[in-house]
């Protein structure tokens, strides 16, 4: 099959966002893609950004004789439309959440405290964005990361409150892999 034969497919739409505490490896799809890890409905889709910095070595005539990568950056940004204190705790390293369950006599309460460098937990998360294509196959974007850009909670009269998260990827293996983009391919007809 020609490698470019399937490049005419146009990807439209958003997807599901899954987050799970990183535990030394990326889990299998069936373990990660469960309701308990589906943290949010997404607003305005999601964006994966890859950036690279090169160092050029020039000779005395100003001609580049060698060029090599000195730095790579991957960030994943998305608008989180449905959220609670537990989601905020995954996006903020200093957040602490306590929950008092509701009873027949009283309302429950979830309290999220943010701040205090001594409260930084150093946790990384597996972040998986899963998009279902028109043919029923999935595109999965997976990183090990943490939100390093802070966030805002805009409470506006006529707009939903959306957390715009920007999650920085960190190496997830000895090869330095920052992101895995997996495309399911449709099954061939017999």
pTM: 0.84
> What residue numbers bound the domain in which 64 lies?
16-183
Residue 127 maps to a domain: yes
190 found inside a domain: no
Residue 9 counted as domain residue: no
Q: What is the pLDDT of residue 93?
A: 95
Q: Is residue 6 part of a domain?
A: no
| Number of domains composing the chain | 1
Residue 14: per-residue pLDDT: 81
Which residues in the chain show pLDDT less than 70?
Answer: 1-12
φ, ψ for residue 31, nearest 5 deg: -80, -40
Query: Is residue 26, in this structure, part of any structural domain at all?
Result: yes
For residue 161, the model assigns a pLDDT of: 86
Where do the DSSP E strands lie in the chain? 16-21, 38-40, 42-58, 64-80, 96-100, 109-113, 125-132, 138-147, 163-170, 180-183
Predicted pLDDT at 82: 84
Residue 2 lies in a domain: no
Residue 42: what pLDDT? 81
pLDDT value, residue 190: 72
Residue 109 lies in a domain: yes
Is the residue at 189 inside a domain?
A: no
């Amino acid at each position: 099959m020609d490698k470019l034969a399937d490049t005419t497919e146009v990807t439209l739409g958003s997807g599901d966002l899954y987050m799970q505490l990183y535990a030394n490896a990326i889990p299998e799809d069936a373990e990660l893609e469960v309701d308990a890890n589906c943290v949010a409905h997404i607003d305005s889709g999601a964006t994966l950004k890859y950036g690279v910095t090169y160092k050029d070595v020039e000779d005395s005539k100003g001609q580049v004789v060698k060029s090599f990568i000195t730095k790579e950056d991957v960030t994943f940004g998305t608008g989180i439309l449905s959220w609670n204190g537990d989601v905020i705790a995954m996006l903020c390293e200093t957040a602490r959440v306590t929950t008092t369950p509701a009873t027949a006599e009283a309302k429950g309460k979830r309290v999220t405290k943010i701040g205090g460098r001594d409260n930084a937990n150093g946790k990384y998360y597996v972040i998986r964005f899963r998009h279902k294509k028109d043919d029923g196959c999935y595109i999965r974007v997976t990183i090990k990361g943490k939100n390093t850009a802070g966030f805002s909670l805009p409470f506006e009269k006529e707009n939903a409150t959306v957390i715009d998260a920007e999650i920085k990827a960190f190496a997830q293996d000895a090869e330095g892999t920052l992101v895995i983009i997996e495309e399911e391919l449709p099954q061939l007809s017999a």
